[in-house]
Amino acid sequence: LRTLKGHSTYVMCVRYGPQGSLLISGDHEGFMKVWDVKGIKCPKTVSSHADAVTAVHFSRDGRQVLSSSRDGTIRLRDSSTCACLKTINAEASVTSASFSLNEKYILASIVDSSVRLWELSSQRLLRTYSGHTKQDSTFLLSCFSVMVGKWIVSGSEDNQLYLWNLQTRQVVQTLKGHTGKTFTISPCRFLLTSDMLIRR
């Protein structure tokens, strides 16, 4: 086991790079750190956001990093230099963000209980998905499904998961079973979700 130390406040999110040699973490004060896992060192620290970093994701080739924050921004950075390549202003606290399967789009969940879809190249907002029953939800997590990118899955403080049609913005199914807030969602062959328990 290894312990990586360096953040001065609590860590909000962490993600391995696709090759497994790099790891990125974001903290409550808006800092991101890129770690060399094999060398157990932190070669880069960047003040990425003005508020807590809520999610981090590597691109499939590991060359870029996507991050979201409570400061209302989503940023794309070069993973080697940490230079900011693009900034999307959501104008509201962002609780999560992820790439589409082809990495041409960004899906993000917003604190107003909506899920929004942006085109990455133009930073243009394409669609907004609304339907969660609990408004002003801090814990609204979202991601693209693995099923050819046709569906979106989101979950939040209303204890339910929503399956959306990506194109029509319609809720096609509501999944119930959690007794608490849904903190994480991971689509695979089975949909893995977590409140205090892991369900599939």
Place of tokens 């205090």: 196
Question: What pLDDT is attached to residue 197?
Answer: 37
Pairing of strands 191-194, 184-187: antiparallel
- As its CATH architecture, domain 1-89 has Beta Barrel (2.40)
Concatenate the DSSP letters of all residues of 2-62 into one string: ------SS-EEEEEE-TTSSEEEEEETTSEEEEEETTTTEEEEEEE--SS-EEEEEE-TTS
Question: What pLDDT is attached to residue 109?
Answer: 87
First-last CA distance in the chain: 28
Average pLDDT (61-72) is 94
Domain ranges, ordered by start, for the chain: 1-89, 101-200
Average pLDDT (86-104) is 90
Domain 101-200 has CATH 3.40.50.2300: no
Can you list the alpha helix ranges (DSSP code H) found in 73-183? none
HSE-CB of 61 using CA atoms within 13 angstroms = 6
Confidence class of residue 130 from pLDDT cuts 50, 70 and 90?
Answer: confident
Question: What pLDDT is attached to residue 199?
Answer: 41
pLDDT in tens, 153-169: 877 666 677 888 888 88
Concatenate the DSSP letters of all residues of 51-62 into one string: S-EEEEEE-TTS
Confidence check: pLDDT of 86 > 90: yes
Confidence class of residue 143 from pLDDT cuts 50, 70 and 90?
Answer: low
Confidence check: pLDDT of 142 > 70: no
Burial 10-35 (b: 16+ CB within 10 A, else e): eebbebebeeeebbbbbbbbbbbbbb
- For residue 75, the one-letter residue type is R
Q: How far is CA 25 from CA 56, 90, 121, 147, 162, in A?
A: 7, 22, 25, 28, 28
Chain-wide mean pLDDT for the chain? Answer: 80
